[in-house]
């Protein structure tokens, strides 16, 4: 496996020159586009890592599956679905313009910013400090890494300049979908996006989901099988944003990307994958990361279809 990963890393390295690192906030524009790491976990004793697998990056949207998981664990499926739906487009089959529709749960999903921001408000805790701490602890447990922390510079950069996300949160409030104070909720979302991880951490988190909620590395049951399946299904249809259809055809596994350059890939019952390469395509997905996943999927026949 390690040889195969090395070969994939070598063959895909040229793609690190394509696209651009995220620049919607100043701090992310500092990323080194040449960094490229892959980690694959197939069982407790088989962790294979190559390249810059130990380099830290911020999880960004790769935290969204964990926000969804905690919202499910704290509230159950019905409540979660009543606020944030599961459809990738949220548009009726004959829609050509839905901009004048009121915002409803069925228009958003947990893997877009609006959905994830709404779900932050469902996390239990006496205040947003406690809610965020519980989210960080769940991420640490899934990654089996007590050292996961917030990157303060990225967090402050998001907080100062992430006005589009702030606008999305105010839109939720305007449509009666957010009970709490907008600034508290958005602060929790900004911190969540700013959690630092390595490809190895993403691979471990993905491995827990691949094993339907149990961490085979520690034997601990983190969540129910049903919730893990819920998350994997949503990752399959919405995890790569508006690139999810293309990704389903070319790679065929549940996955989640983040604009920090990370991608976690879940191969149910088989493997957890974590990749890092910060240069992104126009949809916000790592270009070299997707190429590497395509190659890995073809070589090992990973597509669930
Ligand atoms: N922090 C990012 C944003 O809010 C998360 C989105 C992403 O990773 N695509 O824009």
Find out whether the beta carbon of 259 lies less than 6 Å from any atom of ligand 1. yes
Q: In this predicted structure, what is the pLDDT of residue 123?
A: 98
Which of 21, 64, 88, 251 is an active site residue? Answer: 64
> What pLDDT score does 302 carry?
97
Decide if 24 is catalytic: no
pLDDT in tens, the chain (305 residues): 999 999 999 999 999 999 999 988 888 898 999 999 999 999 988 999 999 999 999 999 999 999 999 999 999 999 999 999 999 876 766 666 556 567 888 888 999 999 999 999 999 999 999 999 999 999 999 999 999 999 999 999 999 988 999 999 999 999 999 999 999 999 999 999 999 999 999 999 999 999 999 988 788 999 999 999 999 999 999 999 999 999 999 999 999 999 999 999 999 999 999 999 999 999 999 999 999 999 999 999 999 99
61 among known catalytic residues: yes
Say how many Å lie between the CA of residue 193 and the centre of ligand 1: 7
The model carries a pTM of: 0.96
| Cβ partners under 8 Å of residue 84, min gap 6 | 105, 108, 109, 110, 115, 118, 119
pLDDT at 27: 86
Look at the alpha carbons of 90, 264, 278, 13 in this order and tell me if their dihedral is positive or negative. Answer: negative
pLDDT the model gives residue 97? 56
Could you identify the atom of ligand 1 that is nearest to the CA of residue 24?
10
Residue 34 has φ and ψ, to the nearest 5°, of: -80, -10
80 and 72 Cβ atoms separated by less than 8 Å: yes
Q: From the CA of 60, how far away is ligand 1's center (Å)?
A: 5
- Best probe residue, ligand 1, of 24, 26, 59, 60 (max atoms within 8 Å of C-beta): 60
**131, 241, 257, 277: which is the annotated catalytic residue?**
241
Q: How far is the CA of 259 from the centre of ligand 1 (A)?
A: 6
What pLDDT sits at residue 216? 83
Beta 214-215 vs 196-197: how paired, if at all?
unpaired
φ, ψ of residue 99 in degrees (nearest 5): -70, -20
Query: Using an 8 Å Cβ cutoff, are 17 and 279 in contact?
Result: yes
* Mutation pick for ligand 1 pocket among 23, 115, 165 (CB with most ligand atoms within 8 Å): 165
Cα–ligand 1 centroid distance for 2 (angstroms): 31
Q: Is the CB of 284 under 6 A from ligand 1?
A: yes
- What the block records as the tokens of 208 is 């827990």
Query: What whole-number distance in Å separates Cα of residue 149 and Cα of residue 244?
Result: 29
Question: Looking at 15, 189, 230, 276, which residue is catalytic?
Answer: 189
Q: Is residue 83 a contact partner of residue 105, using CB atoms and an 8 Å limit? A: yes
């Amino acid at each position: 496996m390690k040889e195969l990963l090395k070969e994939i890393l070598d063959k895909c390295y040229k793609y690190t020159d394509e696209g651009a690192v995220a620049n919607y906030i100043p701090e992310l524009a500092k990323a080194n586009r040449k960094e490229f790491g892959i980690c694959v976990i197939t069982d407790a004793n088989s962790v294979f890592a190559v390249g810059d697998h130990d380099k830290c990056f911020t999880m960004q949207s790769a935290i969204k599956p964990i926000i969804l998981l905690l919202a499910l664990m704290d509230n159950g499926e019905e409540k979660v679905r009543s606020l944030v739906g599961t459809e990738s487009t949220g548009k009726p089959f004959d829609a050509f313009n839905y901009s004048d529709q009121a915002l409803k749960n069925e228009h958003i999903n947990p893997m877009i910013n609006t959905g994830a921001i709404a779900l932050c408000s469902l996390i239990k805790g006496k205040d947003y400090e406690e809610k965020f701490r519980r989210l960080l602890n769940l991420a640490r447990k899934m990654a089996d890494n007590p050292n996961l922390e917030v990157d303060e510079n990225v967090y402050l950069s998001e907080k100062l300049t992430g006005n589009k996300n702030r606008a999305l949160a105010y839109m939720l409030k305007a449509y009666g979908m957010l009970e709490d104070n907008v600034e508290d909720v958005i602060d929790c979302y900004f911190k969540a996006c700013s959690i630092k991880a390595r490809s190895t951490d993403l691979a471990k988190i993905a491995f827990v989901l691949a094993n339907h909620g149990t961490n085979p590395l520690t034997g601990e049951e983190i969540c129910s099988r049903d919730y893990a399946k819920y998350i994997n299904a949503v990752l399959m249809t919405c995890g790569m944003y508006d690139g999810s259809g293309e990704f389903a055809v070319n790679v065929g596994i549940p996955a989640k990307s983040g604009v920090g350059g990370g991608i976690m890939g879940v191969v149910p019952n088989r493997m957890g994958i974590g990749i890092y390469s910060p240069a992104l395509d126009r949809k916000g997905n790592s270009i070299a990361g997707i190429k590497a996943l395509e190659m890995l999927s073809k070589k090992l026949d990973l597509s669930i279809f």
